[in-house]
Amino acid sequence: MTLKKLTGLAGLVALILTPGAFAVDTAVRLIVDADKPGHAVSPTLHGIFFEDINYGADGGLYAELVQNRSFEHKESLYSWATVSLDGDGSISVETADPLNASNPHYLRLTVRTPGKGFGVANYGFGGIAVKQGENYLFAVRARADAAFKGKLVAVLEDETGRPLGECKIEGLSGQWQKFEGTLKSSGTALHARLVVLATAAGRVDLDVASLFPENSWKQRRNGLRADLVQMLVDLKPAFMRFPGGCIVEGNDLPNRYEWKDTIGDIAERKQNWNRWQDAMRGQTAPQYYQTYGLGFFEFFQLCEDIGAAPLPILNCGMACQYQSKQLVPLDQLDPFVQDALDLIEFANGPATSPWGAKRVAMGHPAPFNMKLLGVGNEQWGEQYFERYKIFQAALKAKHPEIQLVTTAGPGVDDASWKLAWDKFRSGTPADIVDEHYYRPPQWFLENATRYDAQDRAGPKIFAGEFAAHDTSLRKPSLRAAISEAAFMTGLVRNSDVVAMSSYAPLFAKADAWQWAPDLIWCDNTRAYGTGSYHVQALFSRNRPDVVLPLVVDAPPVPLSPAINASTSGAKALPAYRPASLPALYAVAGRDNRANEIVIFIANPYAEAKAATIELRGVTQLASAAKAIVLTSASPDDENSFEAPMKIAPREETVAISGTSLARTFPAYSLTVLRLKPVN
């Protein structure tokens, strides 16, 4: 049966089957032993990797609408402009007697004649998007000199200057105070601006001028974008790694991520520049900063909200080895190790402990139940292992309950990776080893079996960052997504040793990105998942509890010419290469709660493939099964804001009689079959 005929049946009923001998002439047989459960599937197998790259945090997931709210950008008035309604005055950025030492700059309005108002406007992150009828929460720290006898007015204006809503702030004194107000928007605008006006002559100082949609995720103040969090919920991630990525390392040591700067009152969080400002040639973003409004407390809270185990990664005394290569001397590592110990206390400690008390003060009396901690991002070489050993000893001595994530470097099958594994095999202790692969689609097809022979007595594997990079343009194509799906059948099959996996990076903002491909694209109002997003969601949402033996009985596919295996810059070693590729990539398991057999079948080839699926060890299958199919018309297809669901899963009911079925798997497709045994 051809694909055309299959879809001609209105996409509803696939192929009918008969038990035992089957009449369709198919080249491929997938044979599943349903009564021979193998190892348990790691419950943390599929997770997400968050990094503030591509404006993933400020301007992305973090719902703050004001950019440069604390005037801490190097270009300290970036995104701000003077507004004068027939008034006269000046604006300046000052540092004398600031709000606090972590927030040294503030804005001064010197108003000579106020007219109908003199002040400033903020243009957000490429405009402030507002919706008619919705509330926006304004907050500002302000003080004024004794001459100022007026008030502040905060106004939302659309692109034409039409006011959409306002609130008034009164009671300014010579001391810094926090003021709040609500603006209800009477209109919808994509490029609104927030105007803050003084209504009298005198001197007014402003800092941390902030505007959040009331309808943030769970309507939290200092909240996250609800639509983007929902996209994470839909991925059903078992864990979330944060805050990166290279951002953990920093370009240099002063630029590294320090979690203690990211908790407490947002006005006291010490901002930092974002190393992705200039890390990628041709994709510079000089105004990319980290307010840390989305900080470690919010990361833990997000993990809890989306049901993901938290996996924080900490700097291990090394800055980026591609950039400054700075190192903390071994005899000065103590504060770094202490940061790690304090983090465990912040996440899990009682209210009576110093760091546990800070968590409680932020509104979370219960522990966050952190069980995983990463030491360094993708570091490599002896310098890493010298530092890792110090962390490992201190952390295990105090917290043997915490599983440590150790890195094998930025790539696999190269000299750095080999050094790491030589160490693990010769006594360097490791619980979970983080491996990264940003490779062409073909690499993913060739490496679906790479863990079949992995030493089961060694450390567990964390496929911690991966994405298929399709051509030099790194297109988020269907071809890339299906190659990842093929690879992931191998992760599930080996999930006794592959404990965790995550695609990277997670978010990218249109017109503000540095790295592609990414899982979720957004602008100020919209978001969509790439084909890879749907692959991740399908694996995660259908993760079985145990693996069932599955044999692909068909002539294998010959290998195409070898691809260059090293992308890390380290000396490439002979790459892992199988003798051939399978006719279809498939893995089966059992979902115990649903009492269903789940089979993932990826066809990464250019031709549709007909196959029979034979279930052994069951006497009967329920007459209706479910098939979820992810494909599209062309391997080059991509999702976009205009066509966000071009590549999206489509569900079919499959009529079954007996214990086998025949089905055609479209070119470049992932199919998830859910079959119910009836005993």
Q: Which amino acids are annotated catalytic? A: 378
Instruction: Give the C-alpha separation, 661 to 65, whole Å.
Output: 53
| Residue whose CB is less far from ligand AHR, 266 or 412 | 412
Instruction: Give the C-alpha separation, 181 to 167, whole Å.
Output: 6
Stretch that binds ligand AHR, among 158-166, 243-251, 353-361, 398-406 (CB under 6 A): 243-251
Least separation in angstroms between residue 462's CB and ligand AHR is 12
Residue 89 found at the interface with ligand AHR (CB under 6 A): no
Instruction: Give the C-alpha separation, 533 to 488, whole Å.
Output: 13
| Residue whose CB is less far from ligand AHR, 79 or 567 | 567
- Tell me which residues in 495-514 interact with ligand AHR (CB under 6 A): 504-505
Instruction: Give the C-alpha separation, 417 to 424, whole Å.
Output: 11
Least separation in angstroms between residue 276's CB and ligand AHR is 8
| Residue whose CB is less far from ligand AHR, 298 or 378 | 378
| Residue whose CB is less far from ligand AHR, 89 or 244 | 244
List the one residue out of 50, 69, 77, 70 whose CA is nearest residue 61: 50
Given a contact cutoff of 8 angstroms between Cβ atoms, the answer to whether 502 and 517 are in contact is: no
| Residue whose CB is less far from ligand AHR, 22 or 437 | 437
Stretch that binds ligand AHR, among 3-11, 139-147, 240-248, 352-360 (CB under 6 A): 240-248
Residue 485 DSSP one-character state: H
Of the residues 246, 347, 584, 627, which one makes contact with ligand AHR according to CB under 6 A: 246
| Residue whose CB is less far from ligand AHR, 106 or 388 | 388
Of the residues 207, 378, 434, 652, which one makes contact with ligand AHR according to CB under 6 A: 378
Of the residues 250, 410, 459, 604, which one makes contact with ligand AHR according to CB under 6 A: 410
Map residues 420-459 to x or -, x wherever contact with ligand AHR holds by CB under 6 A. ----------------------------------------
Map residues 24-63 to x or -, x wherever contact with ligand AHR holds by CB under 6 A. ---------------------------x-x----------
Q: Which two tokens stand for residue 428?
A: 């360097």
CA Rg value for the chain: 28
| Residue whose CB is less far from ligand AHR, 124 or 464 | 464
Query: Could you give phi then psi for residue 36, rounded to 5 degrees?
Result: -125, 65
| Residues binding ligand AHR: number (CB under 6 A) | 12
- Residue 389: helix, strand or coil by DSSP? helix
Least separation in angstroms between residue 278's CB and ligand AHR is 14
Stretch that binds ligand AHR, among 101-109, 242-250, 346-354, 609-617 (CB under 6 A): 242-250
Q: Which amino acid is present at 634?
A: S
Residue 413 found at the interface with ligand AHR (CB under 6 A): no
DSSP H helical ranges for 269-349: 296-306, 334-348
- The residues with which 310 forms a beta bridge, in sequence order, are 240
Residue 648 found at the interface with ligand AHR (CB under 6 A): no
Residue 483 found at the interface with ligand AHR (CB under 6 A): no
Least separation in angstroms between residue 407's CB and ligand AHR is 9
Least separation in angstroms between residue 443's CB and ligand AHR is 16
Helices and strands: H and E segment counts in the chain: 11, 34
Given a contact cutoff of 8 angstroms between Cβ atoms, the answer to whether 599 and 550 are in contact is: yes
Residue 124 found at the interface with ligand AHR (CB under 6 A): no
Residue 658 found at the interface with ligand AHR (CB under 6 A): no
Instruction: Give the C-alpha separation, 397 to 67, whole Å.
Output: 43
Instruction: Give the C-alpha separation, 593 to 601, whole Å.
Output: 22
Least separation in angstroms between residue 568's CB and ligand AHR is 9
Stretch that binds ligand AHR, among 163-171, 226-234, 244-252, 649-657 (CB under 6 A): 244-252
Least separation in angstroms between residue 228's CB and ligand AHR is 18
List the one residue out of 309, 269, 299, 347 whose CA is nearest residue 356: 347
Given the structure tokens 């997938």, which residue do they identify?
30
Least separation in angstroms between residue 163's CB and ligand AHR is 42
Residue nearest to ligand AHR (CB): 245
Least separation in angstroms between residue 289's CB and ligand AHR is 17
| C-beta atoms surrounding 621 within 10 Å | 24
Residue 213 found at the interface with ligand AHR (CB under 6 A): no
| Residue whose CB is less far from ligand AHR, 179 or 296 | 296
For 669, counting Cβ atoms within 10 Å of its Cβ (0-12 exposed, 13-18 middle, 19+ buried), the class is buried
List the one residue out of 202, 199, 206 whose CA is nearest residue 166: 199
Least separation in angstroms between residue 319's CB and ligand AHR is 13
Least separation in angstroms between residue 435's CB and ligand AHR is 12
Residue 414 found at the interface with ligand AHR (CB under 6 A): no
Residue 245 found at the interface with ligand AHR (CB under 6 A): yes
Given a contact cutoff of 8 angstroms between Cβ atoms, the answer to whether 121 and 81 are in contact is: yes
| Residue whose CB is less far from ligand AHR, 436 or 676 | 436
- Residue 5's H or E segment, with its range, is helix 3-8
Residue 465 found at the interface with ligand AHR (CB under 6 A): yes
Peptide bond into 517 cis (omega under 30): yes
| Residue whose CB is less far from ligand AHR, 99 or 246 | 246
Stretch that binds ligand AHR, among 2-10, 217-225, 239-247, 595-603 (CB under 6 A): 239-247
CA distances for 284 relative to 103, 352, 608, angstroms: 25, 45, 42
Length of the chain: 679
Of the residues 377, 477, 542, 567, which one makes contact with ligand AHR according to CB under 6 A: 377
- Residue 127: helix, strand or coil by DSSP? strand
Residue 515 found at the interface with ligand AHR (CB under 6 A): yes
| Residue whose CB is less far from ligand AHR, 243 or 589 | 243
Query: Using CA of residue 123, residue 129, residue 130, residue 135, what is the dihedral sign?
Result: negative
Query: Could you give phi then psi for residue 482, rounded to 5 degrees?
Result: -75, -30
Residue 244 found at the interface with ligand AHR (CB under 6 A): yes
Provide the angle, in degrees to the nearest 10, between the axes of the packed helices 382-398 and 415-425. 40
Instruction: Give the C-alpha separation, 646 to 346, whole Å.
Output: 44
Strand boundaries in 114-201, DSSP class E = 118-122, 128-130, 135-144, 152-157, 163-169, 177-184, 189-198
Provide the angle, in degrees to the nearest 10, between the axes of the packed helices 226-235 and 296-306. 50
Contacts with ligand AHR by CB under 6 A lie at: 51, 53, 244-246, 377-378, 410, 465, 504-505, 515
